[in-house]
Structure 1
Amino acid sequence: MIKTSTLAFAAALALSAMPVLAQKSASQGIDEYRAMLQDGNPADLFEAKGEDLWKKNRGPKNVSLEKCDLGKGPGVVKGVFVELPRYFADTQRMQDLESRLVTCMENLQGFNAAEISKTPFGRDEMANVTALATWIAAESKGLKFNLSQSHQQEKNFYEVGKRLFFQRGGSHDFSCASCHGEEGKRIRLQDLPILTKNPGDGVGFAAWPAYRVSNGQMWSMQLRLNDCYRQQRFPYPGFASDATVALSTYLGVNAKGAASIAPAIKR
């Protein structure tokens, strides 16, 4: 006969395993949910708009962006996304995709870069920057991230981005690492990837820009970082500030070898 104490121990063991099983099931459910949404990703609409904006004559100078140099020569878009941010000699600055696009919009088309940078996300020319970034990212889908670290500025921005990633502050004493620096972290039903190393194909830096189903918006990496600062209760960073470009440099270098799935779709 099985002793009562043995049965009690077995029951307790089974109950203790239930949260683990529930977490695994929830994580699998999120993966299935994303897979179902992929076939109808609204990012396709932003992608089409971005391609049209690239080729269309616009701005005070009434020209297209087809001579914009994103790092591989004027007009080349394939492969640039997975190599940004990088140092640009003409501006003598580290630039990510969005800040580089604004530079081209100003120099080629005659737009005011400062005015665009002050525009809220999702409005006017800032919405067009997001659409352009979505299309350009799509042109590198499946390619692997390989950010340069040959220029001293590229190395400096990586180190600054690393420090910012671990910097704690705000009313909640949070840092980027609070969510993305340890194994087994989750928020609601979603696993949080570790971003201090290569998190894998299509994870973390390799998944943005992405369409957010929860609010019906296309989110660029600049907006993603902006919202991360909001969640940490930090002041909002300026658009394409050195801080956000440095963080993107840190995350992008850490993602070396990961394949891009951008534009992705998120909850």
Structure 2
Amino acid sequence: MNQRLTKALVGLAVATACIGSVSAQDSKVADELAKYREALADGNPADLLEAKGEALWSEKRGPKNASLEQCDLGMGPGKLEGAYASLPKYFKDTGKVMDVESRLVHCMMSLQGFTYEQATKNWYSKPGTDSDIEALVTFVGAKSNGLKINVPAKHPEEAKMAKMGEYIFYRRSGPQDFSCSICHGQEGKRIRLQELGNLTTKDGAGTAMKTWPSYRVSQGAVWTMQRRLIDCMRQARFPEPKYLADSIVALETFLQKNATGTVMETPGIKR
């Protein structure tokens, strides 16, 4: 056996050993993360926010002194079972594709008489300040727990939004020439030990979408999908979208379409 071939075989053996070592480490990390998530799931603080959301749903508030019990989230006035899992969708009364948060804000304005500014003032919680929107979303989301995500985006306006969301997902922009797909467009990627799901597949998108809204242990608060996506864009150094922006609803439509058929498990709990 010549010297070149010997070196090649030794190199291949070393590479194979390294790959095996990395694979074993990956498996160990995955096992430990699974144990961590299982421990977190034992007593989800989001349950308290869900109860608050239930109370807010039936409480008479605003200039019109009305509840949200006649709010139509796509299943008919006051019908909540499966509503979250079927959003975003097109609403004829507004002529827009809306997600759960934009629809709730619409109901707070039309049924309760709040202004847009009043309804969205505290759209996410801060230290010492709870968010009614987060509570309502958690309550509504829980009503889809155990049901399948169903956002086929067949209406022309829904299809248009899904296409827009797909474009945003793949579009590279910002000072780092970044895109959503760089982290979430292929298998086996990870950052800070956190797996980055492939959101272009049903399983990957389903894993990402089925557990939101989620309680984030590191933040000590429930995050909605709007907040999660806006924060993703901030971290990617994109121009930060406004709350309820069409770009966020479009991304949600694209991701929910990909996740269609996945069973909801919400509220979730994450690091």
Task: Map 1:118-197; keep pairs closer than 5 Å.
Answer: 119=122, 121-122=124-125, 127-197=131-201
In the TM superposition, what whole-angstrom CA distance separates every residue of 1:30-62 from its partner, at most 9, and x where no partner exists?
A: 111111111211110111111111011111211
Letter of the 1:199 partner, please give it.
Answer: D
Query: Which residue of structure 1 lines up, in the alignment, with residue 210 of structure 2?
Result: 206
Contact 1:202 1:262 in 2 (8 A): no
Q: Which runs of 5+ in 2 are unaligned?
A: 1-6
> Residues of 2 paired with 1:149 and 1:74: CA distance?
21
Percentage identity across paired residues of the two chains: 47
**C-alpha deviation, 1:232, in angstroms:** 0.6
- Choose from 45, 48, 51 the match for 2:51: 48
Q: Which runs of 5+ in 1 are unaligned?
A: none
In the TM superposition, what whole-angstrom CA distance separates every residue of 1:54-102 from its partner, at most 9, and x where no partner exists?
A: 0111112111100100011111001001100000000111100000000
- Choose from 69, 89, 92 the match for 1:89: 92
In the TM superposition, what whole-angstrom CA distance separates every residue of 1:100-149 from its partner, at most 9, and x where no partner exists?
A: 00000011111112343354521599810111000111111111111142
Give the TM-score taking structure 1 as reference length. Answer: 0.92
Task: Map 1:1-267; keep pairs closer than 5 Å.
Answer: 13-117=16-120, 119=122, 121-122=124-125, 127-199=131-203, 203-267=207-271
In the TM superposition, what whole-angstrom CA distance separates every residue of 1:209-254 from its partner, at most 9, and x where no partner exists?
A: 1000011011000000011101110121111111000000000001
Distance 1:89 1:120, change over 3 A: closer
Letter of the 2:253 partner, please give it.
Answer: T
**C-alpha deviation, 1:167, in angstroms:** 0.7
- Secondary structure, in 3 states, of the residue corresponding to 1:207? coil
Contact 1:195 1:204 in 2 (8 A): yes
Contact 2:88 2:249 in 1 (8 A): yes
> Residues of 1 paired with 2:51 and 2:159: CA distance?
35
Contact 1:146 1:253 in 2 (8 A): yes
Contact 1:208 1:264 in 2 (8 A): yes
> Residues of 1 paired with 2:99 and 2:38: CA distance?
29
Contact 1:201 1:261 in 2 (8 A): no
Contact 2:197 2:205 in 1 (8 A): no
**C-alpha deviation, 1:11, in angstroms:** 6.8
Contact 1:80 1:140 in 2 (8 A): yes
- Secondary structure, in 3 states, of the residue corresponding to 1:30? helix
**Which stretch shows the higher mean deviation, 152-161 or 54-63?**
54-63
Contact 2:122 2:131 in 1 (8 A): no
Cα RMSD (Å): 2.2
> Residues of 2 paired with 1:193 and 1:12: CA distance?
27
**C-alpha deviation, 1:10, in angstroms:** 6.0
